[in-house]
């Protein structure tokens, strides 16, 4: 068992690593190469290994999928269709409420412009241009609960199967590195 400060530090480390991964994945999509793929596999393995923090834990399923995806790229040169980085945002809606929204994206954008944004007020215009439903192939909320008794009306079993196959590839690769996983 760890103390709260250690757990909070883990959350900060996890957040920093995800930011770093996001930057490198963006670079990878602009100019795919094997060195970036290997680097991303290493970072996703580090992410999967991070102990639980105060507020949350790593999404190991998502990390395994990414490792499997980059391994597939290294072997075939193909990037899965669902890996895209663009200006679109995805929200997850529960039973009449928003589960995951765009607050984090707004905070990141404001921080880039203004630096320290704490205890300040901002006004902005939000324009919603096009709305389409997202199925398993594009869903950023992929996790171990997907496909089980998890209630999701956007489920596409073929897309979910492909993502789970990549997850098993990634998990298998990490088992080779770390027996006992």
Give yes or no for residue 152 having a pLDDT over 80.
Answer: yes
Alpha helices, H only, 31-119: 34-49, 60-76, 103-114
* Torsion on CA atoms 19, 146, 169, 11, rounded to nearest 10: 30
Q: Model confidence at 114, in pLDDT bands (50, 70, 90)?
A: very high
**SS3 category, 98:** strand
| Structural domain contains residue 61 | yes
Flag whether 90 is in a domain. no
Least confident window among 21-25, 95-99, 122-126: 95-99
Strand-pair category, 92-93 with 98-100: antiparallel
Q: Domain range holding 166?
A: 4-84+151-177
Lowest mean pLDDT among 21-25, 147-151, 153-157: 147-151
Structure confidence at residue 84 as a pLDDT band (50, 70, 90): low
CA atoms within 13 A on the CB side of 17: 22
The answer on pLDDT for 105 being more than 90 is no
Does residue 96 have a pLDDT over 60? yes
Mean pLDDT for all residues in the chain:
85
User: How much is the CA Rg of the chain, to the nearest whole Å?
Assistant: 18
Number of domains the chain contains: 1
Tens of pLDDT, residue by residue over 47-72, are 998 888 888 888 889 899 999 999 99
Determine, yes or no, domain membership for 26: yes
Q: Is 109 a domain residue? A: no
């Amino acid at each position: 068992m760890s103390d709260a400060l250690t757990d909070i530090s883990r959350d900060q480390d996890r957040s920093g690593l995800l930011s770093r991964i996001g930057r490198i994945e963006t670079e990878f999509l602009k100019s795919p190469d094997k060195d970036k793929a290997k680097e991303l596999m290493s970072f996703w393995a580090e992410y999967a290994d991070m102990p639980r923090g105060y507020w949350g834990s790593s999404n190991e399923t998502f990390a395994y999928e990414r490792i499997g995806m980059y391994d597939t790229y290294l072997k075939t040169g193909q990037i899965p269709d669902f890996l895209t980085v663009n200006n679109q945002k995805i929200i997850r809606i529960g039973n009449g409420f928003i589960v995951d929204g765009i607050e984090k994206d707004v905070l990141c954008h404001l921080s880039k412009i203004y630096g320290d944004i704490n205890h300040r007020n901002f006004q902005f215009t939000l324009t919603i241009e096009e709305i389409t439903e997202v199925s398993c192939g594009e869903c950023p909320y992929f996790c171990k609960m997907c496909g089980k008794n998890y209630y999701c009306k956007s489920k596409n079993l073929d897309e979910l199967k492909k993502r789970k196959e990549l997850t098993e590839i990634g998990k298998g690769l990490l088992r080779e590195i770390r027996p006992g996983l």
